[in-house]
Amino acid sequence: MAGSWDWTPSTGELLWSANHFRLFGLEPGAVTPSIEFLLAHVHPKDRGRIDAAVAHAAGGGDFESVDFRVVRDDDVVCHLRATVAIVDDGWGGGPRRIVGSIQDVTSQDSVARKLGAHAAVSKALDEWQEFEPGAQALLAGFATAMNLSFGVLWVPERVVLTAKVVWHLEDASLATLADATRDHQPGYGGPTLGRAWKSRQPVASNDPTVGKPPRRATAIRDAGIEATIAIPAVAGHETLAVLEFLSVEAIEPTDRLLRALNGIGHEVGYFLARHRGELVAPVLTPREVQVLQLAARALSATAIAAEMQVSPATVKRHFEDAYARLGVSDRAAAVAVAMRQGLIS
């Protein structure tokens, strides 16, 4: 949808077409158009930039095309693009007039975000070398592309989920939220994280405090969070982790968005399946991992001892300790379980 506008800065007179009203969720003529009304509905994060653009144009400066967000009275966030068509500088003695158009580019912005998110995730996984920085880059890349403020990688730890990696924009309220998040260990029955884990489908909610403990709920409200997304990292029929992202904007959970998030979840899940051993606390010592890694290469116990420069008795002890930790009774089973869990390759 597109509308038009006609603004006389010196008098403050502003005229809107019928479609301009509709872009703000209003019936034509429902309000008297004014710059004050416009600015009051500009998204807080865009307000400073639009204030400056309006002041520049009112002072006789050039008015360039500008993209910005507005928050309608029904709380819907729209992405708009204002473009100047005519600038009448009053050469005939009249006041300066600026005439232009305004267009809803919300769907275009949504497509660009999803494409950017896919590209950011693929880049982070391709460049992944170590778990902590790799996960940080994954969360930051996706969040930046989708204009989100906060991201968490939740992993299983017995009967709860644990925040293994947390990323957020530089902001004191988000730092407080990060502390509350690290102290939170949700179960698998929650309405957002638990639902995503069990259903193996992404969940988007505009009620980000539901099911949260008081401390985290308070931190979410104080940070101005309006929505949450939970993306399960799925490999086959198994959920390995959940990516949670928080937004200061409401989110419309369209089928197209959820399909895109589902694809990202499977891409991340396929990758994490090869890094299972890094998702949870180590179950084997470094020496036990080394013994099983060499065993996977079909080396004998004597050859393993020579490779590690230890005695055969020490190798035997490492094998027995690994059997006990993995719940198996022989070398072949230990190697198989360690490979399946991503402890060795």
Q: What's the pLDDT tens digit per position in 249-302?
A: 888 888 889 999 999 999 999 999 988 877 765 668 889 989 999 999 999 999
The answer to the question of residue 345 being in a domain is no
Element (H, E) at 95: none
What's the mean pLDDT when you consider all of the chain? 90
Quick one: CA torsion of 174, 177, 181, 182, rounded to 10 degrees?
80
What pLDDT, on the 0 to 100 scale, is given for residue 286?
87
Residues 273 and 324 in one domain: no
For the segment 124-132, the average pLDDT, to the nearest whole number, is: 93
At residue 281, the pLDDT reads 58
With respect to residue 318, please indicate whether it lies within any of the assigned structural domains. Answer: yes
Contact status, residue 114 vs residue 138, Cβ threshold 8 Å:
no
**Has residue 41 been placed in a domain?**
yes
* Amino acid, single-letter form, for residue 344: I
- 125, 263: one domain: yes
| Residues in a beta bridge with 16 | 5
Tell me what pLDDT residue 89 has. 66
CATH number at residue 157: 3.30.450.40
Domain shared by 197 and 115, yes or no: yes
Whole-structure pTM value: 0.65
Q: In terms of domains, do 9 and 41 share one?
A: yes
Angle CA(5)–CA(104)–CA(151) in degrees, nearest 5?
A: 135
Query: How far is it, in rounded angstroms, from Cα 144 to Cα 168?
Result: 10
Domain count, the chain: 3
Alpha-carbon distances, residue 239 vs 13, 159, 199, 327 (angstroms): 58, 14, 9, 22
- What is the biggest distance separating any 2 CA atoms in the chain, rounded to whole angstroms? 101
Q: What is the pLDDT of residue 256?
A: 87
Q: Is residue 133 part of a domain?
A: yes
Secondary structure letter of residue 96 according to DSSP:
P
In tens, the pLDDT along 190-213 reads 999 999 999 999 999 999 999 999
Measured over the CA atoms of residue 133, residue 249, residue 109 and residue 53, the dihedral's sign is negative
Cα Rg for the chain, rounded, in angstroms?
Answer: 28
Note the pLDDT of residue 93: 63
DSSP state for residue 275 in the 8-state scheme: G
Claim to verify: residue 165 and residue 220 sit in the same structural domain: yes
Q: Do 84 and 118 fall into the same domain?
A: no
What is the per-residue pLDDT for 78?
87
With contact defined as beta carbons under 8 Å apart, do 205 and 194 qualify?
A: no
Question: What pLDDT score was predicted for residue 91?
Answer: 62
**pLDDT > 80? residue 110:** no
Q: Is 193 contained in some domain?
A: yes
Clarify whether residues 84 and 212 are in a common domain: no
> What domain range is 94 assigned to?
2-104
The Cα-based distances of 260 to 33, 241, 291 in angstroms read: 38, 18, 42
Of residues 87 and 29, more confidence is placed in 29
